[in-house]
Structure 1
Amino acid sequence: MGRKKTVEFDENPPDNFDPSNPYGDPVAMLEYREYLVREKWIQIEMAKIIRERVKWCYRIEGVNHHQKCRHLVQQYLDATRGVGWGKDHRPPELHGLP
């Protein structure tokens, strides 16, 4: 037996996970949870990279940053929608608001 030359990552959700019965296969449920966490971290890190680009653009452009950095700000706003570990994906009635 030898070592593998490359590292392979499974970037897809598990095939045998059933959302209607998530506890039917505990291994598939944990793999699906790991998949969701990994995808969430990727979104968060992408938003951080875009935020750094926005900061750099603001510093470089100075008073013209409203016109010159608009596209980066729009990318950052799009990247941060729905990102986070809070109650983002719950229906509004479950948020606990009166």
Structure 2
Amino acid sequence: MVYKEQKFDEGGPDDFDPARPYADPVAMLEQREYIVREKLIAIEMAKVLRERVQQCYRREGVNHYQKCRQHVKNYLSSIRNVGWGKDAKPDYEV
């Protein structure tokens, strides 16, 4: 059995019109799948960054404020406006 590599489009559909989303139902569904895929990628990236913060905190102990600052900044910037809720998260300054 030969494995064939499956390639995905990096962007949304080219023929989707946001002004008239229901004009082309196939493009609308492709756009919806694209948005869901991007949200799932962002959620998984936030999980990875959260694990890095936890590991740094455990490794550094009392010096975690200075040594883990960049990990925490990356994590906080990744969780802004990520998730399935309709309410947008406020921008926190770090």
TM-score relative to the length of structure 2 = 0.87
Alignment RMSD, CA only? 1.4
Q: Counterpart in 2 of 1:10?
A: 9
1:7-86 alignment, distance < 5 Å: 7-86=6-85
Q: How many residues align?
A: 87
Report the Cα offset of residue 42 of structure 1: 0.4
Rg larger in structure: 1
Please give the secondary structure, in 1, of the residue aligned with 2:30. Answer: helix
Show structure 2 runs of 5+ residues with no match: 89-94
Read off the aligned partner of 2:69 and give its amino acid letter. R
Cα deviation per residue 1:12-67 (whole Å; 9 max; x = unaligned)? 10000000000000000000000000000000000000000000000000000000
Question: Percent identity at matched positions?
Answer: 66
SS of corresponding position for 2:31: helix
Structure 1 position 5, deviation (Å): 3.3
> 1:4 and 1:65 mapped to 2: Cα distance?
45
Task: Give the SS at the match of 1:23.
Answer: coil
* Match in the other structure for 2:91: none
Gaps of 5+ in 1: 90-98
TM norm structure 1: 0.84
Question: In the aligned structure 1, how far is the partner of 2:66 from the partner of 2:87?
Answer: 31
1:4, distance to aligned residue in structure 2 (A): 7.2
Distance in 1, matches of 2:3 and 2:50, equals 37
